[in-house]
Amino acid sequence: MSEMNTNCGCDTTDDASNRKKVPTGSFEDVEFSEELADADDMEAQARAAAADYRADQFSGE
């Protein structure tokens, strides 16, 4: 029987035939348009920039 993760709606079954390869990584090319962005998009953009800055600071240690 398949279990559903209520946080993301993802299928968490251990059945290998149901597993899908999903793209991961921080270098995915995603288009961003300031003209179409709302307040949440702008906040996400600022948070991403701050996270990138913090990651760069730790990589130098």
Average pLDDT over residues 1-8: 48
Average pLDDT over residues 9-29: 63
E strand or H helix that includes residue 46:
helix 39-59
Average pLDDT of the chain? 75
The pLDDT score that the predictor gives to residue 40 is 94
The residue ranking higher by pLDDT, 26 or 21, is: 21
The pLDDT score that the predictor gives to residue 23 is 60
In this predicted model, what pLDDT tens digit does every residue of 26-52 receive, in sequence order? 666 778 888 999 999 999 999 999 999
The pLDDT score that the predictor gives to residue 16 is 63
Residue-by-residue DSSP string for 4-45: B-TTT--B----GGG-------S-------TTT--HHHHHHH
Instruction: Quote the CA–CA distance of 44 and 7 in Å, as a whole number.
Output: 20
